[in-house]
Amino acid sequence: MPAYLDHAATTDVLPAVVERVADQMRVLGNASSLHTTGRAARRVVEESREQVAAALGARPSEVVFTSGGTEADNLAVAGTFRQRRSDDPARTRLLVSTVEHHAVLDCVEHLVAREGASVTWLEVDRDGRLDPQTVRAAIEQRPDDVALVSAMWANNEVGTVQPVEQIAAVAREYDVPFHTDAVQAIGQVPVDFAASGADLLALTGHKLGGPLGVGVLLARRDVRVEPLTFGGGQERQMRSGTLDTPAIAGLAVAVDHAVTHLDEHSAHLASLRDKLIHGAVGAGFGITVSGPHEVGDVRHRLPGNAHLRVPDCEGDSLLYLLDAAGVECSTGSACQAGVPQPSHVLLAMGVSEDDARGALRLSLGRTSTDADVEAFLQALPAAVERAQRAHRAGRGADR
């Protein structure tokens, strides 16, 4: 079996989730039907909604089921923009951090290109952290035209955890909705929707041991969001479509498990992460770490994230060489895999293009072990040496 170090892309489905989904798939019923079978399916959906809400500090009425994190982010960003512009035509400016996932970035770029939006990009520091005062300054430029502030809870590439509560507090001062992508945060750091002050929060199942193809947008009861899909009016009229009752039931199990086991899971991941970082940096290749990286830190960096930059080589070459040696990792977001350009996250953090090209993201999960970390550290030297030779040869051919 390979050493799987790409849990940020997707992680193992919990056995209890598999059982819950399988059990529910054997049961007939559309949760929108009014007869006995339909009401039974609806009961499963509503009990799952209550379970998700209780685990994440939300009200059941604030849980909107989606097909995953991308749809949840799109619904939050595009839906809020369109609703705010409809209510007040002056509300066309989006304030968005420069290190967002493409589910947010590409949605914003679409709104700018096609729907008359403008965007103020919120710059981060060298650790990828967004200063709440940067948000304040951006709002105060033109406070009457802001439609939405969006900043992710934890970065999917470098693992930096944002000061969400402080950012939300600034947005609330100016009566501006605040959206946060918490896809990577759930199950690794404490997430309490009510306490955070966020108005909209996106999460997905497959990052925390749940099924693929199901997620949630947490939306405060007073937030108005224009739907992206139309039909039966399910999910507070925000998201029409037949509800996937088995997947929703499985998601609820996964969210509850992630929150219940957060402390032990976080400690387990941080221990492995620190061992991996220490070994890689000490290997003698000039490897550096992106983002905050104090030993034992589970507040400012995701405990399961190790983001390394290896000098004088291409990350893709390292990835394939490590894969051949039985170690699976990534160079960044799986949604951008195969795109031959440096990470926008690293460039936003002030990393040069050359340094950014040698990036590796190693992410740990529930099933990760010391043996996985050892396998990576043993495979790393040979992979780096070959990748650097190939890089030098390529540079020579270009001259």
The residues assigned a catalytic role are: 335
Q: How far apart are CA 111 and CA 11, in angstroms?
A: 32
Q: Which of 361, 346, 344 is nearest to 308 (CA)?
A: 361
Q: Tell me, what DSSP letter sits at residue 232?
A: S
Residue 348 burial (CB count, 10 A): 18
- E-strand spans in 18-155? 63-66, 93-97, 118-122, 146-150
Nearest 5°: the CA angle 138, 144, 148 is 60
In angstroms, the Cα distances linking 113 to 101, 106, 118, 338 are 18, 10, 9, 25
The secondary structure of 209-226 as a DSSP string is: TS-TT-EEEEE-TT----
Q: Quick one: which of 164, 168, 142, 105 has its CA closest to 348?
A: 105
Cβ atoms of 40 and 193 closer than 8 Å:
no
325, containing H or E segment: none
CB proximity list for 42: less than 8 A, separation 6 or greater = 31, 32
Q: Is the dihedral of CA 309, 313, 315, 317 positive or negative?
A: negative
Q: H-helix or E-strand containing 352?
A: none
